[in-house]
């Protein structure tokens, strides 16, 4: 398995290792970025595991690079999962409250109607 900051050996004609060359692990996404990314909508994303535990992303055929530390990405993903769970719970509470208030409105309307 390649690691962050992976290096590969450079050999001479005899096969002896003379140097180590940086060779970070790179991957290209299967899908393009999509219509929400303006001029980059037709480009795929190139992701690299760079030296220093950095994950770098750039649209293919461009030089614009964005980087994030692997630990920061993990923190961000955990935060997103926690926010999603909080939002789901809030939606459930809102649905229960809407049901309860609708039942109360119905009871008040029936009480007014049959009080006459």
Alpha carbon of residue 23 to chain centroid? 25
- pLDDT over 80 at 2, yes or no: no
Please tell me the distance from the alpha carbon of residue 45 to that of residue 58, in angstroms, as a whole number.
6
| Three-state SS annotation for the chain | CCCCCCEEEEECCCCCEEEEEECCEEEEEEEECCHHHHHHCCCEEEEEEECCCEEEEEECCCCCCEEEEHHHHHHHHHHHHHHHHHHHHHHHHHHHHHHHHHHHHHHHHHHHHHHC
The pTM (predicted TM-score) of the whole model is 0.73
pLDDT, tens digit (0-9, with 9 covering 90-100), for 29-62: 999 999 999 999 999 999 999 999 999 999 999 9
Per-residue pLDDT band at 4 (split at 50, 70, 90): confident
pLDDT score at 3: 82
Q: Which phi-psi region, left, alpha or beta, contains residue 84 (left: φ > 0; alpha: ψ -120 to 50)?
A: alpha
Per-residue pLDDT band at 72 (split at 50, 70, 90): very high
């Amino acid at each position: 398995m390649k690691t962050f900051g992976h290096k590969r050996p450079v050999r001479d004609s005899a096969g002896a290792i003379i140097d180590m060359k940086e060779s970070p692990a790179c991957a290209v996404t299967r899908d393009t970025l999509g219509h929400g990314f303006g001029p980059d909508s037709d480009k795929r994303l190139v992701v690299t595991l760079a030296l220093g535990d950095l994950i770098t992303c750039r649209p293919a055929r461009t030089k614009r690079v964005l980087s994030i530390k692997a630990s920061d990405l993990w923190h961000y993903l955990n935060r997103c999962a926690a926010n999603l769970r909080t939002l789901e719970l809030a939606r459930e509470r809102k649905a229960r409250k809407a049901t309860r208030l609708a039942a109360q409105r119905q009871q008040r309307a029936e009480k007014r109607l049959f009080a006459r």
